Amino acid sequence: MKSIYLRGILLSALSLMASYVFAQTPGIESGTIYTLKSKVNNKLLNVKNASMDNGAAITTWTDTKSDAQRWMIKQVDKNIYTLTNVASGKLLHASAAPTDSVLIDQTENANADYVKWTIKKVGNGVYCVKTANQNYALNSQTRSLTDGTKVNLSKSANTDTQKWVFQKENPRPFAPTAAIADQVFNAWYTQYQIETHKGFWDKAEMMEVLLDAYEVTKDKKYLGKFDLMYQNFILQNKEDWMYNKFNDDIAWASIFCVRAYLLTGNKVYLEKSKDQFDKMYARAFTNKYGGGLNWFETKTSKNACIQGPAMVASCYLAEATGDKTYYDKAIALYSWSKIYLFDASTGKVNDNIDLDRKTGLLKTGTWSSTYNQGTFLGAAVMLYKYTGEANYLLDAERIARYAREDMYKDRTMNNEDGGNDLPGFKGIFARYARMYTIETKKTDLVDWMLLNAKVAYNNRNSLDLIKTKWATRTPEGKPKSAFGSSTAVSLIMNTLPLKDLNSENK
């Protein structure tokens, strides 16, 4: 920590020295953060999709207060500057030798050609940015008001497409912070009217986001909102949920009930959880295929999407009631899943097994999702905590690693956006990533989850809403899926304590 502090002092000193050694462009302060707004379309110079990658395109975009639209300007020679994107830490860069139509991108290589620029004042707060020692200017390609217009070089002509309004900005912390978590929660909860949202399993999951928020922040306002949502859930979905043929839906609702009891002590929640889970389990469990739970009544497949939440619900109910037979159920489902669904050598959770009607043999659906990786991760952690058996911990590590390395190659999660259900999956994984990290003290997911939180937040729109494809900029307006937009709220809430843990281990 001390070395970081000293480096900060040194960088500040160097910036001050630069301002004394070299004459600066009037109105430009080396070491200061600016936004650059195109005079032709009033949009900000922006890294496409808040990308962290070398070679990511530079575009113009509506002001969303994103760090992908903020640039640290540093003087490196007389009237020569570099512009470093605050979000990515990478330099503004001409992608080829300066000439008309060469596109602008970003690079981490401070020694690369074409990362140096001159900044010339052409009006009050208005500047022209040119490649050093070249007469080609930073240019918004068209006068279009469409977000995402690429930025290129053009022969300097003093036109409005080459003029940029510089606005000084203050430093600020990266996501996640408590203030940012509250900001994105309020935007999502209010604009989608989540309290009265209609639905079953998607609403159950969004109710868990409120419980996550309380667990992380201890702010009782979230419990108040949860109780109102619970009352609305009962009003919409009745007291007895057995009309719903999706057994996984019942498991999810049972989870939010038992979690709410553990957080509040309200026995109404516990009684509802136990009653509905027991009824669901009794109808869903069969010895067909050697055990496990049916996903949907009248169908023959046994899916990870019911085994995972049922294991988690069982563990929570055992904790809440003191009835160890719930742990027995969780262990039995886990053991069955390791035979039929879970590849213990890789950590991959396969989607389902079903009977091949032609051969009479079981066939495995090999698709994997953040939903199933997340619930199996949670179950492994909870059973490790209960039994102390190291094999559960090894499984948890492999499940986590498979999601991070095999599914996403350590990059931002940017999929699962189709249909009604997929958009909400990643919020489930974020919840159990927090559980895994806090309960086991394993930090292998921390940097990756923080990366996801940072990129997702920088891809919000001006309404502070974030669609479920976290590495793609959210267009203006309200994304269609409230459930999909809940995933980034879950992500940012659930990574808050991970950020603290990461700081302690640096």
Q: What residues contact residue 477 under an 8 Å CB cut-off, 6+ apart? A: 461, 463
d(CA 196, CA 369): 28
Which pair of tokens denotes residue 15?
Answer: 């910036």
Q: What share of the chain is helix, strand, coil (3-state, %, to 5)?
A: 50, 15, 35
Please name the helix (run of DSSP H) or strand (run of DSSP E) that holds residue 360, with its range, or none: none
- Per-residue exposure over 117-153, b if at least 16 CB sit within 10 Å of its own CB, e if not: bbbbeeeeebbbbbbbebebbbbbbeeeeebbbbbbb
Is pLDDT of 7 > 50?
A: no
What is the pLDDT at residue 74? Answer: 97
Query: Distance (Å, rounded) from C-alpha 378 to C-alpha 434?
Result: 9
**Digit-coded pLDDT (tens) for 136-175:** 999 998 777 899 999 999 998 889 999 999 999 999 999 9
Can you say whether residue 377 is alpha, beta or left, with left for phi > 0 and alpha for psi between -120 and 50 degrees? alpha
What type of residue sits at position 303?
Answer: N
Alpha-carbon torsion (435, 438, 442, 443), positive or negative: positive
Give the span between the Cα atoms of 343 and 369, in whole angstroms: 14
262: number of Cβ within 10 Å:
18
What is the secondary structure of 23-88 as a DSSP string?
A: PPPTT--TTEEEEEEETTT--EEEEGGG--STTPBEEEE-----GGG-EEEEEEETTEEEEEETTT
Confidence of residue 18 (pLDDT cuts 50, 70, 90): very low
The CA distances from residue 300 to 21, 306, 351, in Å, are 76, 13, 14
295 in Cβ contact with 304 (< 8 Å): no
Rounded to an integer, the average pLDDT of 354-381 is 97
Quote the crossing angle between the two packed helices 267-284 and 304-321, to the nearest 10°.
140
Give the number of other Cβ atoms within 10 Å of residue 234's Cβ: 13
- CA 224 from chain centre, in angstroms, equals 25
Instruction: Identify the pLDDT of residue 141.
Output: 81
Whole-number average pLDDT of the chain: 94
- 210 close to 181: Cβ distance less than 8 angstroms: no
Q: Which pLDDT tens digit goes with each residue over 292-330? A: 999 999 999 999 999 999 999 999 999 999 999 999 999
Global pTM?
0.93
pLDDT digits (tens, 9 = 90+) for 408-464: 999 999 999 999 999 999 999 999 999 999 999 999 999 999 999 999 999 999 999
Q: Which two tokens stand for residue 244?
A: 């719903």
C-alpha span between 388 and 390 (Å, rounded): 6
Question: What is the set of domains in the chain, with CATH numbers?
Answer: 22-169 (2.80.10.50), 178-505 (1.50.10.20)
